[in-house]
Structure 1
């Protein structure tokens, strides 16, 4: 915007104190109207980009919430798996002990003192 303003000031400043033909004034005016349209297009694009950025922020927020919920679920499942593994290990140990006892034969009656 500043470059456009500076160019416009320089162009019109060069005309001060000189006779100006209508055609050259018209060309100059057309050039700056084109610049004004481009500037308006850029502003519109900037607004659209801001809206898109806001939309992405909302989507990112939703995705982060979903991710946190998923991570909580994973941690919970990890805990449950660990508990199950411990139970399974205890069961295996109990089965191993039972197998050893069965291999040794029938249990002996306790001796009296």
Structure 2
């Protein structure tokens, strides 16, 4: 997303990671539990988001300058890539994750 939309690389990953993790957690419950234990939390995606907030990281893709109209383009790009991912990712799945990251609301995972 950084190259296509001019977003900062690290900050973009910081914003998106909790939402992507929440999407993938049901497919990798043991990994999600291990991350939760490392963070001292039962909900690893939420704990990652909380940690980022405590560190002053950006909270949304909108805050980073992504335009809402770009969400569909980004979702198409994500779903069209052969990424190694614990779950298959459709355009609708990617759009859901990206829309949540764009809005920056609370994330809840498994």
Q: Which is higher, the Rg of structure 1 or of structure 2?
A: 1
Higher helix share: 1
TM-score, reference length from structure 1: 0.20
Query: Which structure is richer in relative contact order (CA contacts within 8 A, separation 6 or more)?
Result: 2
